[in-house]
């Protein structure tokens, strides 16, 4: 089970940190990703991190967002800075058991319930 939290309303240029806590699984065996989905749009890749710390980012967030994980706490984080109105979406964390940094939603085996981020201009 994945539980995402940390979303909210923030002004453009502001920051938020999202968290996703995992339970009922061996967290360190999973590659963890963040995706977002705006109304009327498909789920889009944001960032992904392997158990050892390797990361990969979507082009729109490079240099602004940082993904990290704490395997001891079974939690993955997404630090978001320099937020823009176009970052407004519901953010989902996902877990996949394949040992590669995937940006494809269908690869992911489990999903959290999402946390909403709204960036005002």
Which of 8-12, 31-35, 98-102 is predicted with the least confidence, judged by mean pLDDT?
A: 98-102
Return the half-sphere exposure (C-beta side, CA atoms, 13 A cut-off) of residue 91: 31
Which residue stretches of 1-121 are H helix? none
Tens-place pLDDT, residues 22-80:
998 889 899 999 999 999 999 999 999 999 999 999 999 999 999 999 999 999 999 99
Where do we find the tokens 């040992």? 99
Q: How far is CA 53 from CA 30, 69, 73, 85, in A?
A: 12, 7, 15, 29
User: Phi, psi at residue 47, to the nearest 5°?
Assistant: -165, 160
């Amino acid at each position: 089970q994945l539980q995402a939290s940390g979303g909210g309303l923030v002004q453009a240029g502001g920051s938020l940190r999202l968290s996703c806590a995992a339970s009922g699984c061996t967290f360190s065996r999973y590659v963890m990703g963040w995706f977002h989905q705006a109304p009327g749009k498909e789920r889009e890749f944001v960032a992904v991190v392997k158990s050892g710390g390797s990361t990969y980012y979507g082009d729109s967030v490079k240099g602004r967002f940082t993904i990290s994980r704490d395997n001891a706490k079974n939690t993955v984080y997404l630090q978001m800075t320099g937020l823009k109105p176009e970052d407004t979406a519901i953010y989902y964390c996902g877990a996949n058991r394949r040992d590669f940094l995937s940006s494809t939603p269908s690869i992911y085996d489990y999903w959290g319930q999402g946390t909403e981020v709204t960036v005002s201009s």
